[in-house]
């Protein structure tokens, strides 16, 4: 497969067309940003750690009945994916109160959220990703009511599957963000699932194992990404 023109460059990934119809190449770059791009760095190997974890988790979810865009890896930072018509929603599932939900609402940090809470933001940097509700999503024609129902069901399925897989490695899945797209009429999981898009705590020590280490200057970001990538990809549980 040959890489062709750049289709889209985000804050940490670039997407390229290929010579194969319906297949794209996603490049996981070493750029890391936080606070709406207000904090920016380039951290060596960050792209490959995130790509490795994303590939592993997409493969695991695929084997457990979740449709994803993942096809295969070309090398440690280039992933072949199926082209999706992306839906501009950031679907966030929260198992424990942390991050913006604690800043914006009267939740005490570390409160267990049972059942998990789904929050959906509008993926729009210029508007700072405002939170949506079902009526807004439908009025803005971002998804149909049936698609929204499906998206929420898949998000909860992904949460259960990831929560159990990570728990077996001594990692608590606090929350995560996923994105969806359409392949024909089918809703598929797209984008990435990585240390940039999940909030992970060591189940014993409570130590952060994700981008919060970067956001909050908690220590050596790449040493953490390296360790957590190894812990996650060593999981053998394929249920
Ligand atoms: P929070 O709303 O607390 O900042 O984020 C909740 C969860 O969603 C965290 O795991 C965070 O990493 C993820 N998340 C929220 N917004 C974004 C985003 O724009 N990009 C990425 N990669 N992850 C996000």
Q: Which of 197, 208, 209, 211 has most ligand 1 atoms within 8 Å of its beta carbon, as the pocket-test mutant?
A: 197
User: pLDDT of 81-126, one tens digit each?
Assistant: 999 999 999 999 999 999 999 999 999 999 999 999 999 999 999 9
Domain with CATH 3.30.470.20 in the chain: 85-220
CB atoms < 10 A from the CB of 235, how many? 16
Whether domain 85-220 has CATH 3.30.470.20: the reply is: yes
Q: Which of the four pLDDT bands, split at 50, 70 and 90, describes residue 65?
A: very high
* Contact (CB, 8 A) for 40 and 32: yes
Q: What is the pLDDT of residue 236?
A: 60
Q: Which of 35, 53, 99, 216 has most ligand 1 atoms within 8 Å of its beta carbon, as the pocket-test mutant?
A: 99
Whether this model's pTM surpasses 0.95:
yes
**Is the distance from the beta carbon of residue 100 to the nearest atom of ligand 1 less than 6 Å?**
yes
Helix (H) or strand (E) holding 18: strand 13-18
Atom of ligand 1 nearest to the CA of 92: 8
Task: State the Cα–Cα distance between residues 130 and 125, nearest whole angstrom.
Answer: 9
Q: What is the DSSP letter of 43?
A: -
Q: What is the DSSP letter of 191?
A: S
Distance 177 CA to ligand 1 centre (A): 6
Domain with CATH 3.30.200.20 in the chain: 3-82
Among 35-39, 103-107, 151-155, 157-161, the minimum mean pLDDT is found in: 35-39
Q: Which of 33, 91, 92, 131 has most ligand 1 atoms within 8 Å of its beta carbon, as the pocket-test mutant?
A: 92
Q: What is the pLDDT of residue 148?
A: 98
Of the candidate CATH numbers 2.30.30.30, 3.30.200.20, 1.10.940.10, 3.40.50.720, the domain formed by 3-82 belongs to 3.30.200.20
User: pLDDT of 22-33, one tens digit each?
Assistant: 999 999 999 999
**Is the distance from the beta carbon of residue 191 to the nearest atom of ligand 1 less than 6 Å?**
no
DSSP assignments along 66-134, one per residue: --BSEEEEEETTEEEEE--EE--EEEEEEEE--THHHHHSSPPTT-EEEEEEEEEEE--GGGT--B--H
Q: Is the pLDDT of residue 154 over 60?
A: yes
Distance 196 CA to ligand 1 centre (A): 8
**Closest C-alpha to ligand 1, atom 20:** 197
How are beta strands 70-75 and 13-18 bridged, if at all? unpaired
Helix (H) or strand (E) holding 140: none
């Amino acid at each position: 497969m040959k890489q062709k023109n750049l289709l889209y460059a985000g804050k940490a990934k670039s997407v390229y067309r290929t010579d194969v119809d319906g297949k794209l190449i996603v490049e996981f770059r070493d750029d890391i940003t936080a606070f709406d791009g207000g904090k920016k760095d380039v951290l060596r190997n960050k792209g490959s750690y995130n790509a490795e974890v994303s590939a592993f988790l997409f493969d695991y979810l695929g084997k457990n009945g979740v449709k994803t865009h993942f096809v295969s890896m070309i090398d440690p930072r280039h992933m072949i994916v199926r082209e999706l018509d992306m839906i501009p929603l950031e679907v966030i599932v929260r198992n424990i109160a942390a991050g913006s939900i604690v800043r914006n609402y009267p939740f005490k940090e570390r409160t267990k959220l049972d059942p998990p809470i789904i929050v959906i933001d509008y993926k729009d940097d210029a508007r700072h990703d405002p939170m949506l509700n079902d009526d807004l999503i439908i009025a803005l024609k971002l998804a149909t009511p049936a698609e929204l129902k499906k998206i929420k069901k898949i998000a909860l399925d992904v949460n259960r599957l990831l929560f159990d897989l990570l728990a077996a490695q001594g990692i608590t899945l606090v929350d995560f963000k996923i994105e969806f797209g359409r392949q024909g009429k089918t809703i598929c999981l797209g984008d990435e699932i990585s240390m940039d898009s999940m909030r992970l705590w060591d189940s014993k020590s409570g130590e952060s194992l994700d981008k919060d280490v970067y956001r909050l200057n908690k220590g050596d970001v790449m040493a953490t990404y390296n360790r957590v990538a190894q812990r996650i990809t060593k999981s053998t549980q394929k249920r």
